[in-house]
Amino acid sequence: MTIDLDKLVQEMTDWRRDLHAHPEFGFEEMRTSAFVASKLREFGLDDVAEGVGGTGVVGTLKRGSGNRVIALRADMDALRIPEQSEFSHRSGNLGVMHACGHDGHTAMLLGAAKLLAEEGGFDGTVRFVFQPAEEWGRGALAMLDDGLLERFPFEEIYGLHNAPKLPVGRFQTRIGPIMSAEDNFEIVLTGVGGHAARPHVGNEALVAACALVTSLQTIVSRRLSPAEIAVVSVTELITDGTRNALPGQARILGDARSFHPEVSADIEVQMRVISEGIARAYNVGQSVTYTREFVPLVNQPAQTEAALEAARHVLGAENVSVVSEPFTGSEDFARFLAHVPGCFSFVGNGDSAPLHNPRYDFDDKGLIHGARFHAEIVRRRLAVG
């Protein structure tokens, strides 16, 4: 049976816009996971498991007698960002929106599930993994901790993410590191606050914090090898002062990105050295909290070559490219790759607003490309005969 692609496109568009209008934050995707599970059952999958890792869903589809198993993954969660768009399918959940396109990722994988369920064309088993809580790096771990690999074993896994400014219908990936680790840090400087007119009486923390923010920039520029890719970003500076009161405490928060564990370790060491030195120089107390939220995402060669060939078949060789450098964004798809080989790739979202922007929206014209790529990789990795 051959599916009507025009009808599938309209269905995926309707699903995507419904999901966009009803966004849910990580581990709160109750409506979203119920929607996904209902569709998978409607398509006639062999098994649909809900509540995996909290709000995750895993659908299983078998064809033929092959014993190989691969997985396809989509993320489902939204962000705590108030949407500023005016279109009819804008978020109806105040303060939460799909600003990263996970609504589109979910719709693409649902489309692939329907395509494969109706057309077949493969010999083996496919797991459709719909993951919660990607945005804060906890969803993949939650599914793994809930026995994902033991309950629903698979040998390799593939994932897609949309890319603003990459034209719709284009595809990119690369062998090796493609997305970075993300470390979070919080530095607290503690002094003695006082009146803004008498700074010499106390020992305020803000001047020390400003010096520390500037000095942290030397970690990448002066402490790491120029051959390494790394970013240290201070994103918040919070004090307990007010207009006429000097603060006694300052909190500096931010994140660091890198591609190798030893670089992450060097960044932490240097951050602690610099913080201690600044604190001594300004006679304030200091503490550093450093956590590793995302690990580097590293694509394996065989699976990446297979993904590139599948994309060339679906989109045309002229629309498929190998990126020369990795991206400094992070993805917890990397957690799955610590257990099985796989590949993570990017599909074009055209001239949209950037990811995590309050005016972002997924371009529905890209849905069919993602669905067809997912189906093609299954048919290649679980080839009949």
Structure tokens at 335: 């957690």
Structure tokens at 53: 């890792």
Q: Is the pLDDT of residue 54 over 80?
A: yes
Structure tokens at 17: 């816009």
Q: Is the pLDDT of residue 385 over 90?
A: no
Mind listing the pLDDT tens digit for each residue in 240-259?
Answer: 999 999 999 999 999 999 99
Q: Is the pLDDT of residue 1 over 90?
A: no
Burial (CB < 10 A; 0-12, 13-18, 19+), residue 333, is buried
Question: What confidence category does residue 111 fall into, taking pLDDT thresholds of 50, 70 and 90?
Answer: very high
Q: Note the pLDDT of residue 306.
A: 98
Q: Is the pLDDT of residue 341 over 90?
A: yes
Helices (H), the chain: 5-21, 30-43, 102-119, 139-145, 148-151, 206-216, 218, 261-282, 301-315, 334-337, 367-381
Burial (CB < 10 A; 0-12, 13-18, 19+), residue 181, is buried
For range 34-56, the mean pLDDT: 98
Tell me the average pLDDT of the chain: 97
Distance CA 35, CA 207 (A): 52
Mind listing the pLDDT tens digit for each residue in 255-272?
Answer: 999 999 999 999 999 999
Mind listing the pLDDT tens digit for each residue in 176-187?
Answer: 999 999 999 999
Question: What confidence category does residue 207 fall into, taking pLDDT thresholds of 50, 70 and 90?
Answer: very high
Q: Is the pLDDT of residue 358 over 90?
A: yes
In angstroms, how far is the first alpha carbon of the chain from the final one?
19
Mind listing the pLDDT tens digit for each residue in 222-233?
Answer: 999 999 999 999
